[in-house]
Structure 1
Amino acid sequence: MEFDLEDPFASFKEHQNCIVSQLFASESDHMPFTNSLTATHSHLSLRCDAVSFILQVQFSCNLEPSVTYLAINYLHRFMSRQEIPQGKPWLLRLVAISCLSLASKMKNTRFSLSDIQKQGYVLEAQCVQKMELLILGALNWRMRSITPFPFLHFFISLSEFKDQALKEALKERASEIIFNAQNEFKILEYKPSTIAACALMSASHELSPAQYSILRVSITSCEYIDEETLSKCFNLIQEMVNMETNESMMDTTTSFLSTETPIKGQRI
């Protein structure tokens, strides 16, 4: 049975249990190979460089976060299957741009090589097309990737919250947490459903502490979730959220201090 990965629960409502089961059963096929998660420092460095480049292109070309998230998903899956030689930064950029090109096609979003060339990167369209085919083959043409986002609605529905505004706020904040976690290498060992569940719990812990325990109980009671794995992933995401908060506070403090005008005659 085919279903829309962007919103798999919107269709076939009469077969929703079947769709949920199929979605959880299929998510491992859209993850990097597990042996790549113990990669060497040099391999990890290559991945970080490629992710940083994709995020840089997102900013310079004003791409939707969903496009870059999908491109990074392709990148991690491809690099877990295909070794990229060190010392060839142009090749790494070619892979990253090809992942972005494929993701933009899947999302039906405009992405032009001319936009990249304006940033000083010269790539021939033919080279990008050849790399796209190599990526497609390595990923067995599984481009309709299962990401954490389709699971957000499912986990929110388990809690049976009545407040629609709260549900939307939780989903929005959880999505933001997922986007911010995409360059964290350690998160790759967790399934998309686990990441989605933990992002929602983190969002609830932040926005509605009174509802947090209700949401956590409903998620841990889900037959597809392993509680121990959930706890480890949640701790990792909380660390990232706390670090994000601390960095934001430091930026605010720095900005405040830089705008302070010393009083005449005051020692600084």
Structure 2
Amino acid sequence: MELDLENPLSNFHHFCPATTAPSLFPVESDHMAAQNYIDSLGTGDLHVSLRREAISSISQFSCKLGPFSSYLAINYLDRFLSSRGMLVLQQSKTWVLRLVSISCVSLAAKMTKTEFSLTDFQGDRGLIFDAQTVERMEYLILGALKWRMRSITPFAFVSFFISLFKLKEAPVIQAIKARAVELIFKAQIDTNFLEFKPSIIAASALLSACHELFPLQFPSFRRAISSCSCVNKENMIKCYNSMQEIDMVSSSNTPANALDRHVSSSGSEISTAGATTVTSVTQRDIKRRKVNDYGTIIKWSTSLRSKSEVLIHGPL
């Protein structure tokens, strides 16, 4: 059955016809990288560079599959390396890491039922792996992940948190969701976000999007998410601040490689015309600041203030 990242377990078990986001909170940690792997990335520049190289390969291999397949493949990569694949990061042979990367992409394509061929994946990029070699690596990855391939990612929680905002205007919902998804893609590349649960990343991305697009309504958005008992407020503040930092850095740089272009284009693929308009205005006008608590609000521009009042009629 095809995997939908927004509803990863829906209709998967015959005894569970509809899986809702609240039921995913207790098991989301099972779909995260192990702590020892996260610690190794925090202390070794070599491991970070190798991970970056693997992600770049995944981006190249999955460029024709769409951003969500790429996201799923990177999730498999991190979970595999944190389970039994740390030896891969210690290999001097780069082809091993390349094989892992293409196998993760292949598995992601199969899970999302995306048509592909290994020839299309590998193109003219040097060493070509045959189907049997990739299949053997796929089985190693499947074993390391304990066959939990229906990954619970931040996308599974986005609609749930948005529903807490009690919004009625479709353009507003689309604008917030599109911007949050864009931030989630950016966060996956940064190793600092591996420590946060998918739900925390989703909540932080939505808060950041709301803060950026509709600052007048931000206190209401913040109270809505903070009211959720499944959200660790301290971790969310930490994740939110980190997300603000990477967004400011990435917004000031021109995409320099295939991975950046792939992530940058994902927002435009899912945005509506209204969402794109709001986002373009925001990037030009907003001056963001890091906040250490939810009592401090970032500065907003006069022009964006008037636009948010037009889109949202009255306080939420």
Shorter-chain-normalised TM-score: which range? 0.7 to 0.9
Structure 1 distance, partners of 2:220, 2:124, is 48
Which of 136, 156, 159 in structure 2 is aligned with 1:153?
159
Structure 1 distance, partners of 2:148, 2:10, is 21
Which of 41, 55, 65 in structure 1 is aligned with 2:59?
55
Instruction: Give the 5 Å matches for 1:125-204.
Output: 125-204=131-210
Distance 1:116 1:218, change over 3 A: same
Please list every run of 5 or more consecutive structure 1 residues that lacks an aligned counterpart in the other structure. Answer: 250-268
Distance 1:127 1:38, change over 3 A: same
Which residue in the other structure is 1:97 paired with? 102
Is the Cα–Cα contact under 8 Å of residues 34 and 189 in structure 1 kept in the other structure?
A: yes
Matched, 1:7 2:7: yes
- Percent identity between the two aligned chains: 48
Is the Cα–Cα contact under 8 Å of residues 4 and 112 in structure 2 kept in the other structure?
A: no
Q: How many residues of Structure 1 are paired with residues of Structure 2 in the alignment?
A: 242
Q: Which amino acid aligns with 2:6?
A: E
Distance 1:142 1:16, change over 3 A: closer
Distance 1:168 1:87, change over 3 A: same
Q: Which amino acid aligns with 1:106?
A: M
- The C-alpha deviation readout for 1:173-216, integer Å capped at 9, x for no partner, is 11111112221111110000000001111111111112222111
Matched, 1:213 2:213: no
Matched, 1:241 2:240: no
CA shift, 1:46, in A, is 1.7
Structure 1 vs Structure 2 CA RMSD: 2.3
Structure 2 distance, partners of 1:16, 1:226, is 28
Which residue in the other structure is 2:79 paired with? 77
- The C-alpha deviation readout for 1:112-165, integer Å capped at 9, x for no partner, is 111133222311110000000000000000000000001000000011112121
Q: TM-score, normalised by structure 1?
A: 0.84
Is the Cα–Cα contact under 8 Å of residues 61 and 122 in structure 2 kept in the other structure?
A: no
Is the Cα–Cα contact under 8 Å of residues 8 and 19 in structure 1 kept in the other structure?
A: no
Structure 1 distance, partners of 2:19, 2:119, is 44
SS in 2 for 1:181: helix
Please list every run of 5 or more consecutive structure 2 residues that lacks an aligned counterpart in the other structure. Answer: 256-316
Structure 1 distance, partners of 2:196, 2:239, is 7
Distance 1:31 1:167, change over 3 A: same
CA shift, 1:4, in A, is 6.6
Deviates more, 1:94-103 or 1:201-210: 201-210
CA shift, 1:17, in A, is 11
Distance 1:96 1:64, change over 3 A: same
Structure 2 distance, partners of 1:209, 1:175, is 18
Deviates more, 1:39-48 or 1:88-97: 39-48
Which residue in the other structure is 1:119 paired with? 124
Is the Cα–Cα contact under 8 Å of residues 73 and 108 in structure 2 kept in the other structure?
A: yes
